Chains A and B, each alone.
Chain A
């Protein structure tokens, strides 16, 4: 009942559809908050590819979602960053599909100087963490750049100061890249100018500078803010061309000063850093030339002096001979005197020797020899020799006598025996027989024939008588062949005959005795 009663209690309250209610809310919110300024801290920021920026604005208790449409975000002077204290301007709108409301931001700026500085500190810390401020990244500046690129406003006093100082020191070629030096277009233009200079090719119609100066005169923190922007700092850090930053006065330090290769306190100072003083260099060059010439001259003078000294110390050729010549003269002088003295000395020696040489000396020697001879002569006698001769003679006589006796005795004995033998031989010899009427018959060949048969056979006979030999006949023709075999045997007996002959001769030999 109660429930039913409750249901019926809502009877005269109009009923909305969800969309109708959402639409009503939207109308109220957009109508009521069509233009608001809200101060808060930027919370989570997301930047999808679409180019819109979604972010949260918050304070210690509440959060409102916000969006920066693409077209707006490009125009923003300050890009929202998490933690930044900002004042956002815009309108509220709802997003019925998700039961959400949000603020569409038309502009967003840092809330006061403190917020700006806090943002700068945060940026600085981030870039430092990336190492963009490292000293090792700093490039050395060229000693004498040929072309200097200046990024600044073409109409300010800054460029005039720079050119004036360059003219004083060392006129150079200067390329000015005009940029806005304040306002929201400052940072993008400066960044593009730095990148643009780096993109130029050396030696082209628009030649690439070998040194960059990014300069701006003094101003408020807000005026200089463009040089605190991250894109400027990153472009300066990425520059391959050495870069001098000269923004504001000496006390103003902007982010670009940390990443530049050299920070100049003022634009004029940048020009002084950029180029040396030409007149000084000319002076130095002249001085270097003079020093060189002086050093060279001194060296040559020194060497020349040394040479002169040495040549003075060098003796002349003829003086080299003086001393030997003098010595020769001296020795030449001494030579005849030496010869004379030598002769004299020898003469004295000779006369000394000659003085000692006297006949009496010789005669004394002779007398002595004679005396000695006399002594020997006295001892010389013939008697021993005569005695020896006498003894020899006696001995000879004895021996002669004995020889005679022996010889006679020796001859007598053989002679008597020889006579006996001779007689015996005569008796025994066939010759003796021959003389008694016998004869010896021999064949023609000389064989002794003792038989008649042998004698008949022999062709010829040889008969020896006491007083000679008689040969008989010659062998017949018929007998000749018969004698041949005999004759073959005969030569042998011939030898005995020849042997016998000496036996026959013996008496003749014996007669020789």
Chain B
């Protein structure tokens, strides 16, 4: 298990660890007591993955540039 708290994991980290957890549970490698803890962790990881997947929000903005070509602000990109 990685040291990163589940709540701070990226989707990829959470997914990789969830994959591991599922594998371990399916292979029955760990004692029953540990597998319960493992299951709980797996559930957390799954929740984290789903949270990240629910964050699927489209937001498109276009950077506006000043005379020197430096970014000056954002404007909504419309009609795209």
Chain A residues within CB distance 8 Å of chain B: 142-144, 154, 159-160, 163, 166-167, 170-178, 189, 192, 196, 200, 205-206, 278, 281-282, 284-285, 288-289, 291-293, 295-296, 299-300, 302-303
Report yes or no: B63 in contact with A178, Cβ–Cβ below 8 A: yes
Interchain CA distance A291-B28 in the complex, whole Å: 12
- B43: chain A residues at CB < 8 Å are 289, 292
Contact A196 B25 (CB under 8 A): no
Q: Which of B1-60 contact A (CB under 8 A)?
A: 10-12, 15, 18-19, 21-22, 25-26, 28, 32, 35-36, 39, 42-43, 46, 49-50, 52-53, 56-60
Asked if A299 and B35 make an inter-chain contact with CB atoms under 8 angstroms apart, the answer reads yes
Q: How far is the CA of A289 from the CA of B40 in the complex (A)?
A: 11
Apart from A196-B70, A285-B18, A288-B42, 7 more pairs, CB < 8 Å: A163-B60, A174-B61, A285-B50, A288-B49, A289-B46, A296-B35, A296-B36
| Interface flag for B67 (CB, 8 Å) | no
Flag if B10 contacts A288 (CB, 8 Å): no
- Closest residue of chain B to A173 (Cβ to Cβ) is B59
When the two chains form their complex, are residues B39 and A296 in contact, meaning their CB atoms are under 8 A apart? yes
What residues on B are CB-neighbors of A293 within 8 Å?
A: 39
Instruction: Determine whether the beta carbon of A171 is less than 8 Å from that of B58.
Output: yes
Spell out B's residues near A (CB within 8 Å).
10-12, 15, 18-19, 21-22, 25-26, 28, 32, 35-36, 39, 42-43, 46, 49-50, 52-53, 56-63, 65, 69-71, 73-74, 77, 80
5 A-B pairs with the lowest CB-CB distances in the bound complex, closest first? A171-B58, A143-B12, A295-B25, A176-B62, A295-B26
Q: Which residues of A contact B11 (CB under 8 A)?
A: 143-144, 281
Contact of A285 among B12, B39, B46, B58 (CB under 8 A): B46
Tell which of A171, A175, A284, A296 touches B25, judged by Cβ atoms closer than 8 Å: A296
Residue of A nearest to B18 (CB): A288
Q: Tell me the smallest distance from the CB of A304 to a CB of chain B, in Å.
A: 10
Chain A residue numbers with a CB within 8 Å of B39 are 292-293, 296
Contacts of A302 in B (CB 8 A): 28
Given contacts A173-B57, A285-B53, contact A159 B25 (CB under 8 A): no
| Neighbouring A residues of B42 by C-beta, 8 Å | 288-289, 292
B63 to A, closest residue via Cβ: A177
Complex Cα distance, B63 from A180, in Å, reads: 14
Give the CA-CA distance A177 to B71 in the complex, in Å.
Answer: 9
What residue in chain A is nearest B74 (Cβ atoms)?
Answer: A206
Q: A160-B80, A196-B71, A285-B18 are in contact. Are A178 and B10 (CB under 8 A)?
A: no
Q: List 23 A-B contacts (CB under 8 A).
A: A142-B12, A144-B11, A163-B80, A173-B58, A173-B59, A173-B60, A175-B74, A176-B61, A206-B71, A206-B73, A278-B53, A278-B56, A281-B49, A282-B50, A285-B18, A285-B46, A285-B50, A288-B22, A288-B49, A289-B43, A291-B26, A295-B26, A295-B28
Q: A471: shortest Cβ distance to chain B, in Å?
A: 142
Cα(A159)–Cα(B61), bound, Å: 12
| B22 A295 Cβ-Cβ under 8 A | yes
Residues of B within 8 A of A196 (CB): 63, 70-71
Return chain A residues, CB-CB under 8 Å to B21. Answer: 292
Could you say which of B36, B52, B60, B71 contacts A174, with CB atoms under 8 Å apart? Answer: B60
In Å, the complex CA distance between A174 and B42 comes to: 31
The residues of A that contact B63 with a CB separation of less than 8 Å are 175-178, 196, 206
Query: Which residues of chain B are within 8 angstroms of A160 by Cβ–Cβ distance?
Result: 80
Known contacts A171-B56, A288-B46, A144 near B62 by CB under 8 Å: no
